[in-house]
Chains A and B, each alone.
Chain A
């Protein structure tokens, strides 16, 4: 009986650490994303921006709820550049259309152009950029040079040519604008992603992950990309606004959305006619645009924080 007593380590069942060390086997391990989501839910920045974006989406889907004035069919030149009156809180455009109603009804097209273009650019740009930066070598060369080809394409030339092609000319819509913008803007995103991925791919945790037997592709998805997201999110949120404004520039050049589709861009371009006499006409669509960009920038900030434990605000 004594031989057993030479063993002086405390019995296992007395260890208080047991509770903390235990793994709840009935729960899946918290992934990067679900971890981020748990953090996000509690952030005021995220809640505010999410509510703002929700409001924008509601306005975009149901403009009729917010404005009873028909936006495009009651433009009286007699009201040109008129100030606010009862029922027309923002006044009238150069053509005598109700500004408030146009801003409300323009939300749909503008939001669609912004979000869809950013999504397209993200899908193409991040895929190409990540693969090029991560694998390097000839893959990088081919993809990066492909980007260069589109980069060297002057925007106005590309936009002019594409919109003048018979198919696009007959079917001008939000999609044609999205197509033009995405086609010409993805190399920028690819370039930034590639840079960020190159920066991360040699980090210790990536090497560690690969040493632990994580496949190369899985390491890219699980470890490299999430840590390269910061510049991608910054670019994407800013580009959302820039793309909505780009639609204005295209309209300004006569190759944007048709007149029958209302958009903030169309309105900003149209307000150019009044800029010397009534600059406030441009203010309303520009303000709507700013609020949209602001909400997405805040959302981007919150998401990035949640994904990156290092940069959490103290």
Chain B
């Protein structure tokens, strides 16, 4: 088991190199001069642009730029973004905010998605199942930029239950509304995955055995059906944690959350390679760890699954 974990952690290295290389190359391939773009319609003297370009090594070939990035990374110096701010400081600002948001959203979708999914799966075709189906359809058919806007208007402005935007006051309370919006989209997935799994496992032999043994219905559901139904759900949630940490660009924009998504979007709009790659580097770690946890959970959920095949 320890060997398994170690091996997986070692695999971070190629993934990290692959991702950063890909992302760095993509930013490099974006047409246009990012420095000139900083200034919009009113261009500064050409010498200003050229000096900044060489300061950020933008006039170097791709491999030199990428090499410099790696070198800086290993000396724990992420450098400055195009506005002259240290990147490490801005990462330290945005990641805690997005982590709170992601955890809250994940909790919402996991708790409600699984609970609703189990009920819907146990009584397939019943009124609860149908209602939940329609509700999840609405969530899917309406894009986030509409859903977020409506929630903000209704709960933030008209009812006044929550602060409509987050801004500098990011905490568990102010992040609740965006977390609900964010959680709702994946809620539909979690719900339907759980429902499908539960209804499949309901008639499995071990459930009949458990029921025949005289176990109470709740114990059968919780201990046997649910546990055996969770593998696809856990897989999805694990993948989703990574996606949420990557920042929900639309949701963070609507609620003015100073998180990873907003930062990343601004950086992409400015073709700010160093910032983008630094964010992605952190994300790679999150992904690999989340995946590792999911794989470890597999074995716990289903003892037949073994590592080290």
Contacts and interface: CB of A to CB of B under 8 A. Distances in A.
B101 to A, nearest CB: 16
A8 to B, nearest CB: 40
Chain A residues touching B, majority SS: helix
B107 interface: no
B137 to A, nearest CB: 5
Interface string A159-195: 0110011100000000000000000000110011011
Chain B residues touching A, majority SS: helix
B184 interface: no
Interface stretch (A9-17, A28-36, A244-252): A244-252
A113 interface: no
Given A149-B22, A235-B189, A293 B140 contact: yes
B284 A152 contact: yes
B143 A252 contact: yes
B208 to A, nearest CB: 11
A75 interface: no
Contact of B231 (A155, A196, A289): A196
Contact of A166 (B31, B203, B247): B31
B305 A230 contact: no
Interface in B183-203: 185, 188-189, 192-193, 195-197, 199-200, 202-203
A312 B124 CA distance: 10
Contacts of A273: none
B70 interface: no
Given A158-B26, A202-B305, A308-B200, A151 B242 contact: yes
B137 A152 contact: no
B298 A234 contact: no
A96 interface: no
Nearest to B250: A249
Interface stretch (A85-93, A136-144, A208-216): A136-144
A153 interface: yes
Interface in A94-114: none
Contacts of A127: none
Nearest to A45: B125
A149 B22 CA distance: 8
Contacts of B264: 154, 156-157
Nearest to B246: A154
A148 interface: yes
A282 interface: yes
Contact of A248 (B143, B235, B242): B143
A30 B299 CA distance: 35
Contacts of A83: none
B276 interface: yes
A111 to B, nearest CB: 14
A157 B26 CA distance: 8
Contacts of A260: none
Nearest to B307: A136
Interface residues of B, number: 70
Contacts of B31: 164, 166
Interface string B297-309: 0100010111001
Nearest to B125: A313
Contacts of A275: 146, 149
B125 A268 contact: no
A286 to B, nearest CB: 5
Nearest to B235: A195
Interface string B121-135: 000110000000100
A311 B125 CA distance: 13
Interface in B172-227: 185, 188-189, 192-193, 195-197, 199-200, 202-204
15 contacts: A137-B309, A151-B287, A152-B283, A157-B23, A192-B235, A196-B231, A199-B302, A231-B193, A234-B192, A234-B193, A238-B140, A290-B141, A294-B133, A294-B137, A297-B137
Interface of A: 136-137, 141, 144-146, 148-149, 151-158, 160-161, 164-166, 187-188, 191-192, 194-196, 198-199, 202-203, 230-231, 233-235, 238, 241-242, 245, 248-249, 252, 268-269, 272, 275, 282, 286-287, 289-290, 293-294, 297, 304, 308, 310-313
Given A154-B280, A252-B145, 6 more contacts: A145-B14, A245-B141, A245-B143, A268-B146, A290-B137, A308-B200
Interface of B: 7, 11, 14-15, 18-19, 22-23, 26-27, 29-31, 124-125, 133, 137-138, 140-146, 149, 185, 188-189, 192-193, 195-197, 199-200, 202-204, 231-232, 234-236, 238-239, 242-243, 246-247, 249-250, 264-265, 268, 276, 279-280, 283-284, 287-288, 291, 294, 298, 302, 304-306, 309
Closest 6 A-B residue pairs measured CB to CB? A231-B232, A195-B235, A290-B141, A202-B304, A136-B309, A161-B26
